[in-house]
Structure 1
Amino acid sequence: MKPAAFLTHATAIAAAAMATVTVAPATASHRDARPATYLLTGDAGGSKFEGIGADQRRGVFYVSEVTGGEIHRGVSGTAQTEEWLAGDGEDGRFTARGITVDKLGRVYVAGGPNGLGTGRPDLWVYSPDGTLLAALRVPGSDVFLNDVAIGPDGAAYFTNSNDPQVFRVAAGSAGWQAGLWSDASGTIERGAGFNLGGIVLTADHSAFVVAQGNAGRLWRFPTDGGAVTEVTTGDADLVNADGLVRRGSELTVVRNFSRKVATLRLTADGRVARELRQVASDPTRVLTTVKVLRGQFLYVDSKFDETVASAPYEIVTDPVAR
Structure 2
Amino acid sequence: MSVRSLCTTLVLSVALAGVVVPTASARSTTYELPGDSGGSKYEGIGYDVRAQRFYVSETTGGEIHRGRLRSDAATEWLAGDGTDGRWTARGVTVDARGRVYVAGGPNGIDHPGAPDLWVYDRDGRLLAALRTGVPNAFLNDLVIGPDGAAYVTNSNAPQVFRVAEHHGRWTIRTWADATTTIPTQTGFNLGGIVLSPDRSALVVAQGNVGKLWRFSLRTGAVSAVDAGTADLVNADGLVQQGRTLWVVRNFSKVLSTLRLASDGRSAQLVAATPTDPERVFTTAKLAQGRLLLVDSKFDEQVAAPPYQVVALNPPRR
TM-score normalised by L of structure 1? 0.88
Cα pair 1:244 1:253 within 8 Å, conserved: yes
Give the match's secondary structure for 1:154. coil
In the alignment, structure 1 residue 266 sits paired with structure 2 residue 225: no
Give the match's secondary structure for 1:116. helix
Report Cα offsets for 1:288-322 as digits up to 9, x if no partner.
001011212100000000011000000011399xx
Q: 1:228 aligns with which of 222, 226, 242?
A: 222
CA distance in 2, matches of 1:192, 1:101: 30
Cα pair 1:151 1:157 within 8 Å, conserved: yes
Q: 1:178 aligns with which of 169, 172, 177?
A: 172
- Provide the residue aligned with 2:94 in structure 1: 101
Task: For residue 180 of structure 1, report the CA deviation from its aligned partner.
Answer: 0.4
Give the match's secondary structure for 1:115. helix
- Provide the residue aligned with 1:15 in structure 2: none
- Provide the residue aligned with 1:149 in structure 2: 143
Deviates more, 1:189-198 or 1:31-40: 31-40
Q: 1:80 aligns with which of 73, 85, 100?
A: 73
Cα pair 2:290 2:313 within 8 Å, conserved: no
In the alignment, structure 1 residue 205 sits paired with structure 2 residue 222: no
- Provide the residue aligned with 1:304 in structure 2: 298
CA distance in 1, matches of 2:308, 2:191: 22
CA distance in 2, matches of 1:269, 1:31: 34
- Provide the residue aligned with 2:249 in structure 1: 255
Letter in 2 for 1:195: N
Q: 1:319 to 1:196 in 2, by over 3 A?
A: farther
Report Cα offsets for 1:185-235 as digits up to 9, x if no partner.
000000000000000011111000000001100000011124200001001
CA distance in 2, matches of 1:319, 1:232: 27
Letter in 2 for 1:129: D
Task: For residue 174 of structure 1, report the CA deviation from its aligned partner.
Answer: 6.8
In the alignment, structure 1 residue 293 sits paired with structure 2 residue 287: yes
Q: 1:283 aligns with which of 277, 281, 285?
A: 277
CA distance in 1, matches of 2:220, 2:292: 33
Cα pair 1:182 1:225 within 8 Å, conserved: no
Give the match's secondary structure for 2:57. strand
- Provide the residue aligned with 2:11 in structure 1: none
- Among the aligned pairs, what percent are the same residue? 61
What residue ranges of structure 1 are gaps of 5+ in the alignment?
1-29
Letter in 1 for 2:26: A
Task: For residue 270 of structure 1, report the CA deviation from its aligned partner.
Answer: 0.5
Letter in 2 for 1:73: R
Letter in 2 for 1:310: A
Letter in 2 for 1:102: D
Matched pairs, number: 291
In the alignment, structure 1 residue 42 sits paired with structure 2 residue 42: no
CA distance in 2, matches of 1:137, 1:293: 31
In the alignment, structure 1 residue 164 sits paired with structure 2 residue 158: yes
CA distance in 2, matches of 1:242, 1:253: 7
CA distance in 2, matches of 1:319, 1:238: 21
Task: For residue 92 of structure 1, report the CA deviation from its aligned partner.
Answer: 0.3
Cα pair 2:185 2:208 within 8 Å, conserved: yes
- Provide the residue aligned with 1:131 in structure 2: 125
Report Cα offsets for 1:16-67 as digits up to 9, x if no partner.
xxxxxxxxxxxxxx98210110000101111000000011111010000000
Q: 1:223 to 1:31 in 2, by over 3 A?
A: farther
CA distance in 2, matches of 1:173, 1:317: 38
- Provide the residue aligned with 1:16 in structure 2: none
In the alignment, structure 1 residue 190 sits paired with structure 2 residue 184: yes
Q: 2:237 aligns with which of 220, 234, 243?
A: 243
Q: 4+ runs of 1 displaced by more than 3 Å?
A: none
Give the match's secondary structure for 1:141. coil
In the alignment, structure 1 residue 89 sits paired with structure 2 residue 67: no
TM-score normalised by L of structure 2? 0.90
CA distance in 1, matches of 2:205, 2:166: 29
- Provide the residue aligned with 2:6 in structure 1: none
Cα pair 1:200 1:208 within 8 Å, conserved: yes
RMSD: 1.4
Cα pair 1:282 1:319 within 8 Å, conserved: no
Structure 2 counterparts to residues 17-28 of structure 1, below 5 A: none
